[in-house]
Amino acid sequence: MKLYYAPNTCSLSPHIVLRELGLEFELIKVDNRSKLTADGRDFRTINPKGYVAALELDNGQILTEGPAIVQYLADMKPESGLAPRADSWARVRLQEWLNFITSEIHAGSAPLFNATLPEEVRAFFREKLFRRFDFLEDALNDKTYLTGSSFSVADAYLFTVLGWCEFFSFELNRWPALLAYKRRINARPAVQAALLAEASQ
C-alpha cells in the first residue's frame, strides 16, 4: 500500500493508523501547492480531488476521504480493536465520532487557515470551533479515549486536527481534559513514529 500525504495535514490520521496496525506501507509526500508527488507525478492523476490523504491499494485502487480510509485499514486487522465490527452498534458510534470530527472540527477549522478572510469572519468560525471543543471537553472528562477505554481510529483523527491549534495561535489550556487527551495520544509510539517520519522526509 502507498499513503499519499502532506506534513501537518489530515493525512497524519491514516498514517498513525497504518503504524498502530503495524501494516507495511510506503509514504509518498505530496506538495499541496504544486500538486506534485515527491517522485514527480501530478497528484491529481492519482486523486482528481487534488487533496490528501489518498491510499493506493496493492490492486491499484485509490481510496480517499480520511474517515473511509481509517475504517478500511482497521478492518484489515479487526483484532486490533481500532474499529468495532462493521455490523455492530459500537461501529455506528465510532462513525458518529468520525463524522463529527470531519465536519465540525476538520472542516470547521478550514476558515481559520484562510488569511484572506476578514477578522470578524474568522472570529465567528473560531467561536463556533470553541463550542465544539466545549462539547469534547465534556465528552472526554471521564474517558481515556473518544469511544471509551480503548484507542480507536477516531482518536488518531481527533489528535491530528487538534494539532492545528498552534497554527491558529491558540492553546488548549482552556479545555484541560482535551489537552490531557492530546498529550496522551501524542505519547503513543506509533504517533511519535508517524510524526518523526513526516518531519524527516
Kindly list the residues in this chain that would bind ligand GSH in the complex (CB under 6 A).
6, 9-10, 32, 50-53, 65-66, 102
Q: Which is nearer to ligand GSH, 101 or 136 (CB)?
A: 101
Residue among 65 and 137 whose Cβ is closer to ligand GSH: 65
Minimum Å distance from CB 160 to ligand GSH?
8
d(CA 97, CA 116): 31
Minimum separation from the CB atom of position 1 to ligand GSH (A): 16
Q: Quick one: 57 or 180, whose CB is closer to ligand GSH?
A: 57
Smallest gap, in angstroms, from Cβ of residue 127 to ligand GSH? 22
Closest contact distance (angstroms) between CB of 141 and ligand GSH is 27
Specify the residue, 105 or 191, whose C-beta has the smaller distance to ligand GSH. 105
CA-CA-CA-CA torsion sign (170, 108, 140, 138): positive
Q: How far is the CB of 51 from ligand GSH (least distance, A)?
A: 3
For ligand GSH, which is the closer residue by CB, 12 or 172? 12
Q: Reduced to 3 DSSP states, what percent helix, strand and coil does the chain have, rounded to the nearest 5?
A: 55, 10, 35
Residue 21 host element (H or E): helix 12-21
Instruction: Identify the DSSP state of 78.
Output: G
Residue with cell 491514516: 14
Enumerate residues 6+ apart whose C-beta is below 8 A from 176: 137
State which residue has the least CB distance to ligand GSH: 51
- Reduced to 3 states (helix: H, G, I; strand: E, B; else coil), residue 24 is coil
